[in-house]
Structure 1
Protein backbone atom coordinates (compact mmCIF):
# COMPACT_ATOMS: atom_id res chain seq x y z
CA UNK A 1 0.00 0.00 0.00
CA UNK A 2 1.38 3.39 -0.92
CA UNK A 3 -0.38 6.70 -0.82
CA UNK A 4 0.42 10.39 -0.54
CA UNK A 5 -3.01 11.04 0.88
CA UNK A 6 -3.15 12.23 4.45
CA UNK A 7 -5.45 10.11 6.60
CA UNK A 8 -6.26 9.98 10.31
CA UNK A 9 -4.79 7.03 12.20
CA UNK A 10 -5.44 6.10 15.86
CA UNK A 11 -2.47 7.13 18.02
CA UNK A 12 -2.76 3.89 19.99
CA UNK A 13 -2.22 1.88 16.80
CA UNK A 14 1.21 3.41 16.08
CA UNK A 15 4.33 1.56 17.23
CA UNK A 16 7.44 3.72 17.66
CA UNK A 17 9.95 1.66 15.71
CA UNK A 18 13.08 3.58 16.70
CA UNK A 19 12.32 5.35 20.01
CA UNK A 20 14.58 8.20 21.01
CA UNK A 21 14.89 10.05 24.32
CA UNK A 22 13.97 13.62 23.51
CA UNK A 23 15.28 16.77 25.17
CA UNK A 24 12.50 18.03 27.44
CA UNK A 25 12.85 21.63 26.20
CA UNK A 26 12.45 20.48 22.57
CA UNK A 27 9.50 18.27 23.49
CA UNK A 28 7.76 21.17 25.25
CA UNK A 29 8.40 23.40 22.21
CA UNK A 30 6.77 20.84 19.89
CA UNK A 31 3.71 20.65 22.14
CA UNK A 32 3.47 24.44 22.33
CA UNK A 33 3.71 24.84 18.55
CA UNK A 34 1.01 22.24 17.95
CA UNK A 35 -1.31 23.92 20.46
CA UNK A 36 -0.68 27.34 18.87
CA UNK A 37 -0.69 26.69 15.12
CA UNK A 38 -1.73 23.07 14.85
CA UNK A 39 0.11 20.17 13.21
CA UNK A 40 2.17 21.56 10.31
CA UNK A 41 3.37 18.19 9.00
CA UNK A 42 1.73 14.78 9.35
CA UNK A 43 3.66 11.84 10.74
CA UNK A 44 4.89 9.10 8.41
CA UNK A 45 4.00 5.47 9.08
CA UNK A 46 4.09 2.11 7.36
CA UNK A 47 1.88 -0.92 7.86
CA UNK A 48 3.34 -3.13 10.57
CA UNK A 49 4.39 -6.66 9.69
CA UNK A 50 5.36 -7.64 13.23
CA UNK A 51 2.43 -9.19 15.14
CA UNK A 52 4.39 -8.97 18.41
CA UNK A 53 3.88 -5.20 18.62
CA UNK A 54 0.11 -5.51 18.61
CA UNK A 55 -0.01 -2.31 16.54
CA UNK A 56 -1.27 -1.68 13.03
CA UNK A 57 1.41 0.85 12.04
CA UNK A 58 5.15 1.37 12.51
CA UNK A 59 6.29 4.97 12.93
CA UNK A 60 8.89 6.12 10.39
CA UNK A 61 9.17 9.76 11.46
CA UNK A 62 7.31 12.13 13.75
CA UNK A 63 7.84 10.74 17.27
CA UNK A 64 7.70 14.21 18.84
CA UNK A 65 4.46 15.06 17.04
CA UNK A 66 2.91 11.72 17.98
CA UNK A 67 3.83 12.10 21.65
CA UNK A 68 2.52 15.67 21.68
CA UNK A 69 -0.86 14.46 20.35
CA UNK A 70 -0.98 11.66 22.92
CA UNK A 71 -0.12 14.07 25.77
CA UNK A 72 -2.91 16.36 24.60
CA UNK A 73 -5.38 13.48 24.87
CA UNK A 74 -5.96 13.24 21.10
CA UNK A 75 -7.04 9.84 19.81
CA UNK A 76 -6.12 10.32 16.13
CA UNK A 77 -3.30 12.00 14.23
CA UNK A 78 -2.85 12.92 10.54
CA UNK A 79 -0.44 10.51 8.85
CA UNK A 80 1.00 9.54 5.49
CA UNK A 81 1.28 5.78 4.92
CA UNK A 82 4.24 4.61 2.86
CA UNK A 83 5.12 1.18 1.54
CA UNK A 84 8.28 -0.01 3.31
CA UNK A 85 9.30 -3.20 5.06
CA UNK A 86 10.41 -3.10 8.68
CA UNK A 87 14.12 -2.94 7.83
CA UNK A 88 13.77 -0.01 5.43
CA UNK A 89 11.39 1.76 7.79
CA UNK A 90 13.91 1.40 10.60
CA UNK A 91 16.70 2.79 8.41
CA UNK A 92 14.51 5.70 7.30
CA UNK A 93 13.72 6.49 10.94
CA UNK A 94 17.41 6.37 11.88
CA UNK A 95 18.35 8.59 8.96
CA UNK A 96 15.78 11.17 10.00
CA UNK A 97 17.08 11.18 13.58
CA UNK A 98 20.74 11.45 12.52
CA UNK A 99 20.01 14.35 10.19
CA UNK A 100 18.35 16.40 12.93
CA UNK A 101 20.11 19.30 14.59
CA UNK A 102 20.88 19.06 18.33
CA UNK A 103 21.01 15.30 18.01
CA UNK A 104 21.88 13.28 21.08
CA UNK A 105 25.49 12.04 20.62
CA UNK A 106 24.61 8.50 21.71
CA UNK A 107 21.75 8.40 19.19
CA UNK A 108 24.18 9.54 16.53
CA UNK A 109 26.55 6.71 17.47
CA UNK A 110 23.74 4.18 17.41
CA UNK A 111 22.40 5.39 14.08
CA UNK A 112 25.71 5.53 12.22
CA UNK A 113 26.76 2.17 13.67
CA UNK A 114 23.52 0.59 12.53
CA UNK A 115 23.81 1.98 9.00
CA UNK A 116 27.44 0.86 8.85
CA UNK A 117 26.44 -2.62 10.06
CA UNK A 118 23.87 -2.79 7.24
CA UNK A 119 26.73 -2.46 4.74
CA UNK A 120 26.48 1.24 3.88
CA UNK A 121 29.82 2.98 3.34
CA UNK A 122 30.68 6.50 4.48
CA UNK A 123 29.61 8.07 1.16
CA UNK A 124 26.20 6.37 1.22
CA UNK A 125 25.64 7.30 4.87
CA UNK A 126 26.57 10.90 4.11
CA UNK A 127 24.17 11.01 1.16
CA UNK A 128 21.33 9.49 3.20
CA UNK A 129 21.73 11.78 6.19
CA UNK A 130 22.73 14.98 4.41
CA UNK A 131 25.88 15.24 6.53
CA UNK A 132 29.30 15.99 5.04
CA UNK A 133 31.21 13.04 3.62
CA UNK A 134 34.48 14.03 5.30
CA UNK A 135 32.63 14.41 8.61
CA UNK A 136 30.99 10.98 8.29
CA UNK A 137 34.30 9.45 7.18
CA UNK A 138 36.04 10.89 10.25
CA UNK A 139 33.26 9.81 12.64
CA UNK A 140 33.33 6.27 11.23
CA UNK A 141 37.10 6.16 11.73
CA UNK A 142 36.65 7.21 15.35
CA UNK A 143 33.91 4.60 15.81
CA UNK A 144 36.13 1.89 14.30
CA UNK A 145 38.73 2.81 16.93
CA UNK A 146 36.14 2.70 19.72
CA UNK A 147 36.52 6.43 20.40
CA UNK A 148 33.04 7.12 21.79
CA UNK A 149 34.37 9.81 24.14
CA UNK A 150 35.90 11.73 21.22
CA UNK A 151 32.79 11.33 19.04
CA UNK A 152 30.74 12.76 21.88
CA UNK A 153 33.04 15.79 22.12
CA UNK A 154 32.96 16.41 18.35
CA UNK A 155 29.18 16.14 18.14
CA UNK A 156 28.76 18.59 21.04
CA UNK A 157 31.13 21.06 19.39
CA UNK A 158 33.79 20.81 22.08
CA UNK A 159 36.58 20.10 19.62
CA UNK A 160 37.12 20.06 15.84
CA UNK A 161 36.93 16.68 14.13
CA UNK A 162 40.55 16.85 12.95
CA UNK A 163 41.73 17.30 16.56
CA UNK A 164 39.75 14.20 17.60
CA UNK A 165 41.34 12.23 14.76
CA UNK A 166 44.79 13.42 15.85
CA UNK A 167 44.10 12.27 19.40
CA UNK A 168 42.85 8.89 18.15
CA UNK A 169 45.76 8.18 15.79
CA UNK A 170 48.83 10.22 16.83
CA UNK A 171 51.29 10.07 19.71
CA UNK A 172 51.34 12.50 22.64
CA UNK A 173 53.85 14.87 21.03
CA UNK A 174 51.79 15.22 17.83
CA UNK A 175 48.63 15.75 19.87
CA UNK A 176 50.19 18.60 21.85
CA UNK A 177 51.44 20.22 18.63
CA UNK A 178 47.94 20.01 17.15
CA UNK A 179 46.43 21.54 20.30
CA UNK A 180 48.99 24.36 20.22
CA UNK A 181 48.20 25.09 16.57
CA UNK A 182 44.46 25.03 17.29
CA UNK A 183 45.01 27.49 20.13
CA UNK A 184 47.12 29.82 17.99
CA UNK A 185 44.53 29.82 15.18
CA UNK A 186 41.69 30.48 17.62
CA UNK A 187 39.93 27.13 17.12
CA UNK A 188 40.53 26.07 20.71
CA UNK A 189 40.65 28.92 23.19
CA UNK A 190 39.64 29.52 26.77
CA UNK A 191 37.12 27.04 28.10
CA UNK A 192 37.26 24.83 25.00
CA UNK A 193 40.99 24.23 25.41
CA UNK A 194 40.54 23.43 29.11
CA UNK A 195 37.65 21.08 28.26
CA UNK A 196 39.83 19.22 25.72
CA UNK A 197 42.63 18.82 28.27
CA UNK A 198 40.15 17.44 30.80
CA UNK A 199 38.75 15.07 28.17
CA UNK A 200 42.28 13.79 27.46
CA UNK A 201 42.80 13.15 31.16
CA UNK A 202 39.50 11.25 31.42
CA UNK A 203 40.26 9.29 28.26
CA UNK A 204 43.69 8.29 29.62
CA UNK A 205 42.21 7.35 32.97
CA UNK A 206 38.85 5.76 32.04
CA UNK A 207 39.41 4.72 28.42
CA UNK A 208 37.78 5.50 25.08
CA UNK A 209 34.25 4.31 25.83
CA UNK A 210 31.45 6.38 27.28
CA UNK A 211 30.15 4.49 30.27
CA UNK A 212 27.03 5.44 32.15
CA UNK A 213 27.67 6.04 35.86
CA UNK A 214 26.57 3.14 38.00
CA UNK A 215 23.62 3.93 40.20
CA UNK A 216 24.47 3.50 43.84
CA UNK A 217 21.85 1.54 45.80
CA UNK A 218 20.92 3.00 49.16
CA UNK A 219 22.22 0.78 52.00
CA UNK A 220 19.67 -1.28 53.90
CA UNK A 221 19.04 -0.94 57.65
CA UNK A 222 21.02 -4.14 58.31
CA UNK A 223 23.95 -2.84 56.25
CA UNK A 224 23.90 0.47 58.14
CA UNK A 225 23.84 -1.39 61.47
CA UNK A 226 26.78 -3.54 60.37
CA UNK A 227 28.75 -0.46 59.30
CA UNK A 228 27.98 1.24 62.61
CA UNK A 229 29.04 -1.84 64.63
CA UNK A 230 32.30 -2.18 62.66
CA UNK A 231 33.05 1.50 63.18
CA UNK A 232 32.54 1.14 66.95
CA UNK A 233 34.86 -1.90 67.03
CA UNK A 234 37.52 -0.01 65.09
CA UNK A 235 37.35 2.97 67.45
CA UNK A 236 37.54 0.70 70.51
CA UNK A 237 40.68 -0.95 69.12
CA UNK A 238 42.25 2.47 68.52
CA UNK A 239 41.38 3.58 72.06
CA UNK A 240 42.83 0.39 73.56
CA UNK A 241 46.04 0.83 71.57
CA UNK A 242 46.26 4.48 72.63
CA UNK A 243 45.86 3.52 76.30
CA UNK A 244 48.59 0.89 75.94
CA UNK A 245 50.98 3.37 74.35
CA UNK A 246 50.18 5.94 77.06
CA UNK A 247 51.07 3.42 79.77
CA UNK A 248 54.32 2.49 78.01
CA UNK A 249 55.28 6.16 77.65
CA UNK A 250 54.43 6.86 81.28
CA UNK A 251 56.56 3.93 82.50
CA UNK A 252 59.44 4.85 80.18
CA UNK A 253 59.35 8.49 81.27
CA UNK A 254 59.33 7.55 84.95
CA UNK A 255 62.23 5.12 84.47
CA UNK A 256 64.26 7.67 82.50
CA UNK A 257 63.60 10.35 85.12
CA UNK A 258 64.90 8.04 87.82
CA UNK A 259 68.03 7.23 85.79
CA UNK A 260 68.73 10.91 85.12
CA UNK A 261 68.76 11.53 88.87
CA UNK A 262 71.47 8.89 89.25
CA UNK A 263 74.89 10.63 89.24
CA UNK A 264 76.76 7.55 87.97
CA UNK A 265 74.38 7.21 85.03
CA UNK A 266 74.64 10.87 84.03
CA UNK A 267 78.44 10.76 84.27
CA UNK A 268 78.47 7.75 81.99
CA UNK A 269 76.27 9.63 79.50
CA UNK A 270 78.68 12.58 79.54
CA UNK A 271 81.62 10.24 78.98
CA UNK A 272 79.88 8.79 75.96
CA UNK A 273 78.89 12.24 74.66
CA UNK A 274 75.20 11.46 75.06
CA UNK A 275 74.33 14.12 77.64
CA UNK A 276 72.13 16.19 75.24
CA UNK A 277 68.44 15.33 75.48
CA UNK A 278 66.03 16.21 72.66
CA UNK A 279 63.91 19.24 73.56
CA UNK A 280 60.57 17.45 73.21
CA UNK A 281 61.78 14.59 75.41
CA UNK A 282 63.08 17.04 78.03
CA UNK A 283 59.71 18.82 78.11
CA UNK A 284 57.93 15.51 78.52
CA UNK A 285 60.20 14.52 81.41
CA UNK A 286 59.58 17.87 83.13
CA UNK A 287 55.84 17.24 82.89
CA UNK A 288 56.25 13.82 84.51
CA UNK A 289 58.29 15.32 87.36
Structure 2
Protein backbone atom coordinates (compact mmCIF):
# COMPACT_ATOMS: atom_id res chain seq x y z
CA UNK A 1 0.00 0.00 0.00
CA UNK A 2 1.59 3.23 -1.16
CA UNK A 3 0.37 5.35 1.75
CA UNK A 4 1.96 3.16 4.45
CA UNK A 5 5.66 3.60 5.11
CA UNK A 6 7.86 0.49 5.38
CA UNK A 7 9.92 2.16 8.11
CA UNK A 8 8.84 0.44 11.35
CA UNK A 9 9.84 0.49 15.01
CA UNK A 10 8.47 -1.44 17.97
CA UNK A 11 7.49 0.57 21.03
CA UNK A 12 5.54 -0.06 24.22
CA UNK A 13 2.51 2.23 24.08
CA UNK A 14 -0.22 3.16 26.60
CA UNK A 15 -3.31 1.17 25.66
CA UNK A 16 -5.59 4.09 26.52
CA UNK A 17 -3.79 6.16 23.86
CA UNK A 18 -4.58 3.74 21.03
CA UNK A 19 -7.65 4.59 18.95
CA UNK A 20 -9.42 1.74 17.09
CA UNK A 21 -10.08 3.17 13.63
CA UNK A 22 -12.31 0.38 12.33
CA UNK A 23 -13.92 -1.34 15.36
CA UNK A 24 -15.72 -4.64 14.81
CA UNK A 25 -17.89 -6.94 16.93
CA UNK A 26 -15.96 -9.59 18.83
CA UNK A 27 -16.62 -13.33 18.54
CA UNK A 28 -16.46 -14.16 22.25
CA UNK A 29 -15.22 -17.80 22.04
CA UNK A 30 -12.43 -16.79 19.66
CA UNK A 31 -11.63 -13.74 21.77
CA UNK A 32 -11.34 -15.95 24.86
CA UNK A 33 -8.86 -18.15 22.97
CA UNK A 34 -6.79 -15.05 22.14
CA UNK A 35 -6.83 -13.94 25.79
CA UNK A 36 -5.87 -17.42 27.03
CA UNK A 37 -3.06 -17.70 24.48
CA UNK A 38 -1.58 -14.31 25.38
CA UNK A 39 -1.89 -15.06 29.10
CA UNK A 40 0.00 -18.32 28.60
CA UNK A 41 2.77 -17.47 26.12
CA UNK A 42 2.58 -13.73 25.51
CA UNK A 43 1.78 -11.68 22.42
CA UNK A 44 2.94 -13.43 19.24
CA UNK A 45 2.74 -10.30 17.06
CA UNK A 46 2.80 -6.65 18.10
CA UNK A 47 -0.17 -4.58 17.03
CA UNK A 48 0.39 -2.05 14.24
CA UNK A 49 -0.37 1.64 14.75
CA UNK A 50 0.35 5.02 13.23
CA UNK A 51 1.30 8.05 15.30
CA UNK A 52 -0.53 11.37 15.39
CA UNK A 53 -0.01 14.42 17.57
CA UNK A 54 -2.91 16.27 19.24
CA UNK A 55 -3.06 19.20 21.65
CA UNK A 56 -3.17 16.82 24.61
CA UNK A 57 -0.17 14.77 23.45
CA UNK A 58 0.55 11.79 21.22
CA UNK A 59 -2.19 9.41 20.11
CA UNK A 60 -1.99 6.25 17.99
CA UNK A 61 -4.46 4.99 15.39
CA UNK A 62 -4.75 1.22 15.16
CA UNK A 63 -3.89 -0.21 11.76
CA UNK A 64 -4.33 -3.89 12.71
CA UNK A 65 -4.54 -5.97 15.87
CA UNK A 66 -7.84 -5.07 17.57
CA UNK A 67 -8.20 -8.56 19.07
CA UNK A 68 -4.68 -8.51 20.48
CA UNK A 69 -5.11 -4.98 21.82
CA UNK A 70 -8.38 -5.78 23.59
CA UNK A 71 -7.02 -9.08 24.92
CA UNK A 72 -3.99 -7.29 26.37
CA UNK A 73 -6.35 -4.78 27.96
CA UNK A 74 -8.58 -7.57 29.33
CA UNK A 75 -5.54 -9.09 31.03
CA UNK A 76 -5.01 -5.84 32.92
CA UNK A 77 -2.00 -4.51 31.01
CA UNK A 78 -1.60 -0.78 30.60
CA UNK A 79 1.08 -0.99 27.88
CA UNK A 80 1.13 -2.96 24.64
CA UNK A 81 3.99 -3.66 22.17
CA UNK A 82 3.26 -1.97 18.85
CA UNK A 83 4.87 -1.53 15.45
CA UNK A 84 4.69 2.19 14.67
CA UNK A 85 4.36 2.98 10.94
CA UNK A 86 3.74 6.13 8.94
CA UNK A 87 0.31 6.26 7.27
CA UNK A 88 -2.56 8.67 6.77
CA UNK A 89 -6.05 7.90 8.25
CA UNK A 90 -7.46 6.61 4.96
CA UNK A 91 -4.63 4.11 4.58
CA UNK A 92 -5.08 3.01 8.21
CA UNK A 93 -8.73 2.29 7.55
CA UNK A 94 -7.98 0.36 4.35
CA UNK A 95 -5.23 -1.66 6.05
CA UNK A 96 -7.60 -2.55 8.88
CA UNK A 97 -10.25 -3.72 6.41
CA UNK A 98 -7.67 -5.77 4.51
CA UNK A 99 -6.56 -7.44 7.74
CA UNK A 100 -10.14 -8.34 8.61
CA UNK A 101 -10.61 -9.99 5.22
CA UNK A 102 -7.27 -11.79 5.10
CA UNK A 103 -6.91 -12.81 8.74
CA UNK A 104 -7.92 -16.45 8.29
CA UNK A 105 -5.56 -16.96 5.34
CA UNK A 106 -2.34 -15.96 7.06
CA UNK A 107 0.31 -18.68 7.18
CA UNK A 108 1.24 -19.32 10.79
CA UNK A 109 4.69 -20.64 9.89
CA UNK A 110 5.59 -17.20 8.51
CA UNK A 111 4.99 -15.63 11.91
CA UNK A 112 7.30 -18.13 13.55
CA UNK A 113 9.96 -17.56 10.90
CA UNK A 114 9.98 -13.89 11.87
CA UNK A 115 11.41 -14.92 15.24
CA UNK A 116 14.19 -16.82 13.46
CA UNK A 117 14.88 -13.80 11.24
CA UNK A 118 15.20 -11.56 14.32
CA UNK A 119 17.70 -14.00 15.82
CA UNK A 120 19.66 -14.08 12.54
CA UNK A 121 19.87 -10.27 12.63
CA UNK A 122 21.63 -10.50 15.99
CA UNK A 123 18.76 -10.07 18.43
CA UNK A 124 19.15 -12.04 21.64
CA UNK A 125 16.28 -14.18 22.91
CA UNK A 126 15.62 -11.57 25.60
CA UNK A 127 15.49 -8.83 22.94
CA UNK A 128 13.06 -10.87 20.82
CA UNK A 129 10.82 -11.53 23.82
CA UNK A 130 10.85 -7.85 24.78
CA UNK A 131 10.18 -6.58 21.26
CA UNK A 132 7.43 -9.06 20.45
CA UNK A 133 5.78 -9.35 23.84
CA UNK A 134 6.27 -13.13 23.81
CA UNK A 135 7.44 -15.08 26.84
CA UNK A 136 11.10 -16.13 27.02
CA UNK A 137 10.02 -19.78 27.24
CA UNK A 138 8.03 -19.53 24.01
CA UNK A 139 10.79 -17.67 22.13
CA UNK A 140 13.42 -20.16 23.29
CA UNK A 141 11.27 -23.12 22.24
CA UNK A 142 10.42 -21.67 18.83
CA UNK A 143 14.04 -20.77 18.01
CA UNK A 144 15.12 -24.25 19.10
CA UNK A 145 12.64 -25.89 16.71
CA UNK A 146 13.51 -23.43 13.93
CA UNK A 147 17.23 -24.21 14.29
CA UNK A 148 16.45 -27.92 13.96
CA UNK A 149 14.29 -27.36 10.87
CA UNK A 150 11.14 -28.69 12.55
CA UNK A 151 8.60 -26.86 10.40
CA UNK A 152 5.89 -29.50 10.78
CA UNK A 153 6.15 -29.38 14.55
CA UNK A 154 6.15 -25.58 14.49
CA UNK A 155 2.93 -25.50 12.49
CA UNK A 156 1.31 -27.85 14.97
CA UNK A 157 2.47 -25.68 17.86
CA UNK A 158 1.02 -22.56 16.24
CA UNK A 159 -2.24 -24.43 15.48
CA UNK A 160 -2.30 -25.57 19.14
CA UNK A 161 -2.39 -29.21 18.10
CA UNK A 162 0.76 -29.98 20.09
CA UNK A 163 2.03 -28.05 23.13
CA UNK A 164 5.44 -26.45 22.66
CA UNK A 165 7.04 -28.57 25.39
CA UNK A 166 5.82 -31.79 23.74
CA UNK A 167 7.07 -30.62 20.31
CA UNK A 168 10.54 -30.03 21.78
CA UNK A 169 10.54 -33.51 23.36
CA UNK A 170 9.59 -35.04 19.99
CA UNK A 171 12.31 -33.08 18.15
CA UNK A 172 14.96 -34.44 20.53
CA UNK A 173 13.81 -38.06 20.65
CA UNK A 174 14.21 -41.22 18.58
CA UNK A 175 11.22 -43.38 17.59
CA UNK A 176 11.00 -45.02 21.01
CA UNK A 177 11.44 -41.69 22.77
CA UNK A 178 8.68 -40.11 20.65
CA UNK A 179 6.19 -42.78 21.73
CA UNK A 180 7.24 -42.23 25.32
CA UNK A 181 6.77 -38.47 24.94
CA UNK A 182 3.26 -38.98 23.51
CA UNK A 183 2.40 -41.33 26.36
CA UNK A 184 3.62 -38.87 28.99
CA UNK A 185 1.71 -36.04 27.29
CA UNK A 186 -1.43 -38.18 27.41
CA UNK A 187 -0.90 -39.07 31.07
CA UNK A 188 -0.36 -35.40 31.93
CA UNK A 189 -3.50 -34.33 30.06
CA UNK A 190 -1.58 -32.36 27.40
CA UNK A 191 -2.80 -34.52 24.51
CA UNK A 192 -6.27 -36.00 24.58
CA UNK A 193 -8.81 -37.28 22.06
CA UNK A 194 -8.57 -35.65 18.64
CA UNK A 195 -5.35 -33.83 19.53
CA UNK A 196 -3.65 -37.12 20.38
CA UNK A 197 -4.79 -38.66 17.08
CA UNK A 198 -3.62 -35.56 15.19
CA UNK A 199 -0.24 -35.76 16.93
CA UNK A 200 0.16 -39.40 15.92
CA UNK A 201 -0.69 -38.56 12.29
CA UNK A 202 1.86 -35.74 12.39
CA UNK A 203 4.55 -38.10 13.72
CA UNK A 204 3.84 -40.56 10.90
CA UNK A 205 3.90 -37.77 8.28
CA UNK A 206 7.12 -36.35 9.73
CA UNK A 207 8.70 -39.80 9.59
CA UNK A 208 7.70 -40.41 5.96
CA UNK A 209 8.13 -36.93 4.47
CA UNK A 210 10.60 -35.19 6.74
CA UNK A 211 10.58 -32.20 9.07
CA UNK A 212 9.99 -29.54 6.41
CA UNK A 213 6.67 -28.65 4.84
CA UNK A 214 6.41 -29.01 1.07
CA UNK A 215 7.11 -25.75 -0.73
CA UNK A 216 8.59 -24.07 2.39
CA UNK A 217 12.21 -24.88 1.73
CA UNK A 218 14.40 -23.21 -0.84
CA UNK A 219 16.44 -26.34 -1.32
CA UNK A 220 15.79 -28.44 -4.40
CA UNK A 221 13.85 -31.63 -3.81
CA UNK A 222 16.09 -34.70 -3.71
CA UNK A 223 15.87 -36.98 -6.76
CA UNK A 224 13.94 -40.21 -6.35
CA UNK A 225 16.46 -43.00 -6.97
CA UNK A 226 15.59 -46.66 -7.51
CA UNK A 227 16.82 -47.51 -4.01
CA UNK A 228 14.64 -44.80 -2.44
CA UNK A 229 11.63 -45.91 -4.47
CA UNK A 230 12.10 -49.50 -3.31
CA UNK A 231 12.44 -48.33 0.29
CA UNK A 232 9.21 -46.32 0.08
CA UNK A 233 7.44 -49.31 -1.46
CA UNK A 234 8.73 -51.69 1.25
CA UNK A 235 7.67 -49.28 4.01
CA UNK A 236 4.21 -49.02 2.49
CA UNK A 237 3.92 -52.82 2.22
CA UNK A 238 5.07 -53.22 5.84
CA UNK A 239 2.55 -50.64 7.03
CA UNK A 240 -0.33 -52.30 5.17
CA UNK A 241 0.74 -55.77 6.34
CA UNK A 242 0.66 -54.56 9.93
CA UNK A 243 -2.81 -53.12 9.33
CA UNK A 244 -4.03 -56.45 7.91
CA UNK A 245 -2.55 -58.31 10.88
CA UNK A 246 -4.34 -56.03 13.35
CA UNK A 247 -7.60 -56.45 11.42
CA UNK A 248 -7.29 -60.25 11.54
CA UNK A 249 -6.54 -60.16 15.27
CA UNK A 250 -9.59 -57.98 15.84
CA UNK A 251 -11.72 -60.39 13.76
CA UNK A 252 -10.51 -63.40 15.74
CA UNK A 253 -11.19 -61.66 19.04
CA UNK A 254 -14.70 -60.75 17.91
CA UNK A 255 -15.37 -64.34 16.90
CA UNK A 256 -14.21 -65.52 20.34
CA UNK A 257 -16.61 -63.07 21.97
CA UNK A 258 -19.51 -64.22 19.78
CA UNK A 259 -18.79 -67.90 20.52
CA UNK A 260 -18.43 -67.26 24.25
CA UNK A 261 -21.73 -65.38 24.40
CA UNK A 262 -23.40 -68.11 22.34
CA UNK A 263 -22.33 -70.71 24.88
CA UNK A 264 -23.39 -68.54 27.81
CA UNK A 265 -26.79 -67.98 26.22
CA UNK A 266 -27.45 -71.72 26.64
CA UNK A 267 -26.74 -71.50 30.38
CA UNK A 268 -30.03 -70.90 32.26
CA UNK A 269 -28.19 -69.70 35.37
CA UNK A 270 -26.31 -67.08 33.39
CA UNK A 271 -29.48 -65.91 31.66
CA UNK A 272 -31.26 -65.52 34.98
CA UNK A 273 -28.35 -63.53 36.42
CA UNK A 274 -28.15 -61.32 33.32
CA UNK A 275 -31.88 -60.64 33.48
CA UNK A 276 -31.64 -59.70 37.18
CA UNK A 277 -28.90 -57.20 36.30
CA UNK A 278 -30.89 -55.85 33.35
CA UNK A 279 -28.23 -57.11 30.96
CA UNK A 280 -30.44 -59.52 29.08
CA UNK A 281 -30.52 -57.60 25.79
CA UNK A 282 -27.36 -57.84 23.68
CA UNK A 283 -26.13 -55.30 21.11
CA UNK A 284 -27.83 -55.90 17.75
CA UNK A 285 -24.51 -56.47 15.97
CA UNK A 286 -23.65 -59.42 18.23
CA UNK A 287 -27.13 -60.97 18.07
CA UNK A 288 -27.04 -60.78 14.26
CA UNK A 289 -23.68 -62.55 14.17
CA UNK A 290 -24.92 -65.21 16.60
CA UNK A 291 -27.93 -65.84 14.35
CA UNK A 292 -25.76 -66.63 11.32
CA UNK A 293 -24.56 -70.25 11.19
CA UNK A 294 -21.42 -69.40 9.21
CA UNK A 295 -20.42 -66.92 11.91
CA UNK A 296 -20.75 -69.61 14.55
CA UNK A 297 -18.61 -71.94 12.49
CA UNK A 298 -15.96 -69.23 12.08
CA UNK A 299 -15.95 -68.63 15.80
CA UNK A 300 -15.75 -72.32 16.61
CA UNK A 301 -12.86 -72.63 14.18
CA UNK A 302 -11.05 -69.73 15.83
CA UNK A 303 -11.37 -71.36 19.27
CA UNK A 304 -10.20 -74.73 18.04
CA UNK A 305 -7.27 -73.11 16.20
TM over 0.5: no
* Bigger-Rg structure (1/2): 1
Higher relative contact order (CA 8 A, sep 6+): 2
Provide the TM-score with structure 2 as the length reference.
0.40
